[in-house]
Structure 1
Amino acid sequence: MKVSISHYQQCKKQTTVSLSTTEAEYIAAASCCSQVLWIQNQMFDYGVTFLHTPIFIDNSSAISIVNNPVKHSKTKHIEIRYHFIRDCNEKKLIQVAKVHTDNQFADLFTKAFDVGRFTFLVTSVGMINSELAHD
């Protein structure tokens, strides 16, 4: 929980933190969706059809916005260009799925970790053999 000090020196919760985190996750998922669609189109040219491509998101609120936008009136400020992910989900081109934060392997490419966590992630995605990781 984030706490901020107002100009009256009182503590209060910042409600925008969770909203902005959800928004950031939603926008990142929309960006991922556009890349998945590009790959799907490229593969279609070679006669391979992929549907229901999973996009793993570790934010339950972002998944809820993709699956049921009616309940989320606070998303009106998000630019319309990011909402195409909803259409892709309805058309079954993609499938959003919940992934626990500990298993979010994309973090390997976006965050710094200690040696143990880094080794776990690298091994999990198959970049190195687990036998070599323990040497």
Structure 2
Amino acid sequence: MTQPPKPDLDLIQMVQRARMLHDADAQPSQVTAVYWIEAKPEAKPTVTTPPPTTRAGEWVIETDVTQVDALWAAVKAATLAGTLGYKAKVSTSSRTDDTAHRIVIVRTPDADDTADVERVRAALVALGITSALRYVRVNEEPVA
């Protein structure tokens, strides 16, 4: 039996870099070509932003199209600075009957690390996020 060809990791990295360049200036309320816009810390993961594990979790912040750009700007800046999780993303369209509904997600590397999960929650509150925050394990519950 022959082995399938190995993936071209250089090509994958090139596509990922191009995607991140696209996402850098994108406004969620103005984007329709992709479902998510993402941000990752600009530096390599540190003690405060370790790489993800199989136990990753995410904070889900519900908002609407009128508030999503300002909310995303704050979450993206904190993510790029490395003060939140290892990745954040924002929906550019709704998956519900409410066409104005949007969500912002902040991923944490380990849902079992309650100190880090709480640290990220506190950082989100410090950003002025007053809507209800919901935390879920990435592999256990789909995001609504």
Tell me the TM-score normalised to structure 1 length: 0.30
- Please say which structure displays the higher CA radius of gyration: 1
Give 1 or 2: higher strand fraction: 2
Give 1 or 2: higher helix fraction: 1
